[in-house]
Structure formats: structure tokens, C-alpha cells
Amino acid sequence: MKKIVCIFVIILALSCKAQDTIKVLFIGNSFTYVENMPDLFRNIADSAGYKVKIQMYAPGGVSVGDISQGTQAHMNNPLVYDNIRSDKWDYVVLQDNQGRFVLDYGQFSSTSLVIQGHQQIRDSVLKNNPCAKMVWFEGWGLKNGMPPYGNTGIEMIERIAANYHFMNDSLQQIIAPIGGAWKKLIITNPAIDPWSADETHQSLAGSFLTANVIYACIFRDNPGFSNANGGLTVNTSTILKQIAWETFTDSLPHINLQSITPVLLWQNNQLIAGNYPYYYWFKDMQWLSNNTSNVLNVNQNGHYFLIAKNTNGCLLKSISQHIFITSDDEMTKKPDFRIYPNPVEDFLNIPIENATEVFLYNANGSLLTTFNGSANQVCRLNTTELKKGIYFLKFQVEKQNIIIKFIKQ
């Protein structure tokens, strides 16, 4: 019997116990608290099934290291360090005044101790929890730019990103590519404005996009699998989730996550990891306690991931995979789900029985869209805007997922 093996790659961050709470502290200013971005982040995580604890310290107008702000600057503020010591945080998201990053590459104002401030807060976080990670908030500038520091919003975003990467060359933490996601949104979906009316702060859409990027960095998961929409329309929230995920995956080699993410290889129905002292394999959020080697045999559909413990006792979250193993025989047993024509050039006909929601994924497992049909009717999916390649449709019928592959030619 011929097997069709479909591997949907998803990246997750979980602790050794799948139900452990991930603790995230947000430190910033109005770019963090406007539209309550941390709460949007929590809603995304909750909807996806993760337990999170969030805490925010974000007084308006405060920067990390502005000398003129004295003890109000984050690096000098006792309240910042009280927040850091208040729990054993897994992640601390630090947002600075983005204007401190708009000078030429590698240059920072002498009136703001940007690198020193980030380093000092990082060191305090790591002293409190040596396995914690900082997430640098690489954000946005003014909507219409601020010459000579960028003639457009996109140019300011590019300057900010460049200097975050310059800073991280020495500080070596995680960069959340928020500005990159904003740039992609501006270019591909200009009708969705991430800025508010003041053309400086974030709109609800901008805050939701920001929250999704941070979610992808912390949980290393596609936010498209979350049902949260942040109070936006389903169509808008779907676009923002997809942009966040695409930006994250495109940026992955450059944001310092690969160095702390064990690689899983898929070969001969096995998941194979590198060399670590301890291995904790999970399937569908359940610990497979009987498997403690670097190889896991996969003979069932499900969501698999590895948590490895390194020599320092820190838990490293792997790239995980959602694997569907579907046989040709299983497909033929469900004739009502035979789609046609396949391969398809324009419209794909999808007979539906007792299923009104359909999920469309690309070959990398990224959720492209969902759409509804009427039971016992044929849906027509317009594929003209899809690139040539392999795609998957998922139906849920009586709590059973059915996956069908089609080819766009």
C-alpha cells in the first residue's frame, strides 16, 4: 500500500511538562501598552492551548537608557528590577524607544545608554533565571518617516532593524522581527493600517500583528492555529497571523533562535535529534515517557516535538512537526471527499458532507486560509492566485481530521 506522508512543520516552545505555564514579563512604554498588546499575546496563547502568565511594566515615554530620565530610565529604575525578581521568568520582552535606533548603522545617541542598558537588564534577568531569554522588541518608527532618519515609515523600520542586529551581535538574545512584519503588511496589504491616527503609535491591527510576532518567537508556533482575532474581523486577523508567521520563518536564521533550537530530522518514519544529555518526546502534548533516546519512531498521526535538556540544565524547545500519514486506501474509503480536478489550474471542486469548515495549508504547513461551505454541497475554491506546488485541505468530520493533498499547476 502506497503511503503519502505529509509533514506540517510547526515550531513550538514548551517546557518539559507540556502543561507548565510559560512566564513572560513585558517591559516597555506606550508601544507595549497601547491596545494592551501583552493581553492580545495572552489571548493568542490561550486560544492555541498554552498556559501563560504575563506581567507588564510599561510607563509612558520611558526609554531603556536615556540619561535625562535618571532613575525613571528602565536600566536605573528599581521597579524594573523588582518586576524581574518577582518570578522566575522564561522570557522578558524589552521594548525601548524606537527612536534610539534610527541613526546610521552602529550609531546610538550619546544621550542614551542603549547597549549598556539592554546589557544591564539582560544580566539581571539571567541572574534571576540562567535559562531565561530576552526578546528584543525590534519595532517601527513614524508612519511617514522623519528625515534624515528615513523618508518613509519603511525606511525607518529598516534603520531600526539594522541597529537591533548590530546590538545583538554582542548581546546574543532573541530579536522579535516586529518591524519586518509591519513592513510586509505595508507592502502587501496597504488597506490594513498598523498605525493609529497619530501616525506614531499602533492601531489595534498593529498591536495584534506585534503580539503575533512575539507569540511566534516565544512559542515558535504558527499563530494561524490560534482562533484569537483580537477583536478584528476574521479576514484581517488571518492576514496578520500569516504575515507574522511568514516574517518569523523568513527571519529565523538571523534572530538567534536556531542556536537554541534542537533540529529534528525526518527519515524513514523516524524523528531524529542531535546529541543531548536528556530527551523528552511529546505527542499531542503528552509526554512519551518510555522513549528517552534521540530517535522516535512515528507510526501514528499527531503533533510531535522534542524538549532536550542541555549540559547546563536548560530546556531547549525543538522545531516540532505535525505529521499526517494518510494512505491511498484511506482516501478511497471516503469518496465524498474526492476533490476534482486534481491537479488543478483554476477552480477546485470540493464535495462536502457534514463538514462546513475547510482549512487550506501550503506544503510547509502554514495555514493560508479557512473557508466555509454548506453541508452536502460542492464548494469551489479559486486557486488562480496560488503558486504552483503542493497544498493540503483539512476537513473535520465527527471529530476526525481528514487530510487531502492537491497539486496546483
CA 201 to chain centre: 22
pLDDT at 343 over 80: yes
Given this model, what pLDDT does residue 348 score? Answer: 84
Residues 61-70 as b/e (b if ≥16 CB within 10 A, e otherwise) read ebbbbbeebe
Please tell me the CATH code under which domain 17-258 is placed.
3.40.50.1110
C-alpha to C-alpha distance for 219 and 318, rounded to whole angstroms: 10
pLDDT tens, residue by residue, 134-162: 999 999 999 999 999 999 999 999 999 99
Say yes or no: domain 261-324 is CATH 2.60.40.10: yes
pLDDT tens, residue by residue, 84-126: 999 999 999 999 999 999 999 999 999 999 999 999 999 999 9
Residues of the chain with CATH 2.60.40.10: 261-324
Least confident segment among 157-161, 186-190, 395-399: 395-399
CA 36 to chain centre: 18
Residues of the chain with CATH 3.40.50.1110: 17-258
How many CA atoms does the CB half-sphere of 48 hold within 13 Å? 27
- 366 Cβ neighbours under 8 A, 6+ residues apart: 222, 224, 242, 245, 246, 249
Task: Identify each DSSP E strand in 187-268 by its residue range.
Answer: 265-267
Say yes or no: domain 334-408 is CATH 3.90.320: no
| pTM greater than 0.85 (yes/no) | no
What SS3 state is found at 325? strand
Given this model, what pLDDT does residue 305 score? Answer: 83
Q: What are phi and psi of 306, to 5 degrees?
A: -120, 140
